[in-house]
Amino acid sequence: MRTFTKATIGFASAGILIAGLAGCTSDAGTTTPAPASSSSSSSSASADPTPLASIPSLSGVDTAVLLDADFGAALTSLGLTAGTVGTATLEEGSLHFPITGGNVDYYDPAEDYRPFVQGSISHEGSGFSLTAGDIVVELTNFTIDPGTSELFGDVSVNGESAATQVLLFDLYGGTLEPLKMEGDNAILTGTTVHISSEAAGLLNSTFSTDAVADQMLVGIATITAATK
């Protein structure tokens, strides 16, 4: 575990990456973020529609979160030390979690089928830890649901499992920037990452505090995916 103080995808067109993450977006003019709608699919009585595009197998590169300064200050005020777990790395103030798998289906937004983006983006074997005294909490094995704008993960306390694939972070895309390409990599940045009410409650209970607020801003996410 490394301690810090501050705080491929294979598809024919890079444009589908935007569609695949459309669930992580919201109106830029909205001052109070609101999560996307439920992931429960609404479809006609007939068979489910055929997706306009499908990515059956995701792999590489990573999801990075540039940590917000206020989040780092909040950790310090709580006496918490953060660190990386597994294959996660810290580079220039950003936590990087390698993409290890998943899939995405994209349906016609003009139709009634919802959410029109469905699937998952997996980050097995990486995460980060929060330590205070002899208590160590690890948040690992993140899974992004692009249809609900939610990030799930496993939680352990002092090596013992406390929760499996619980909702940890809500994702909002009001500041999402246009897609960029660097070589064969498609890059989307600007989605903000916020602590969920479930995670806030768990952390407050574990560390005997009430200072971890629901929807506290953690940082800004950048998803980098190889297009070949």
pTM here? 0.78
User: What are the sequence ranges of the domains in the chain?
Assistant: 53-226
pLDDT digits (tens, 9 = 90+) for 187-219: 888 999 999 999 999 999 999 998 899 999 999
pLDDT digits (tens, 9 = 90+) for 136-179: 999 999 999 988 889 999 999 999 999 999 999 999 987 878 87
What is the C-alpha to C-alpha distance for residues 113 and 138, in angstroms, rounded to an integer? Answer: 37
As a whole number of Å, the end-to-end CA separation of the chain is 32
Q: Hey, what's the torsion of the CAs at 19, 23, 27, 31, to 10 degrees?
A: -150
Cα dist from 143 to 72, 99, 211, 213, whole Å: 23, 9, 26, 22
pLDDT digits (tens, 9 = 90+) for 54-100: 777 777 789 999 999 999 998 998 899 999 999 999 999 999 999 99
What is the number of residues in the chain?
228
What is the C-alpha to C-alpha distance for residues 71 and 80, in angstroms, rounded to an integer? Answer: 11
User: What residue type is 224 in one-letter code?
Assistant: T
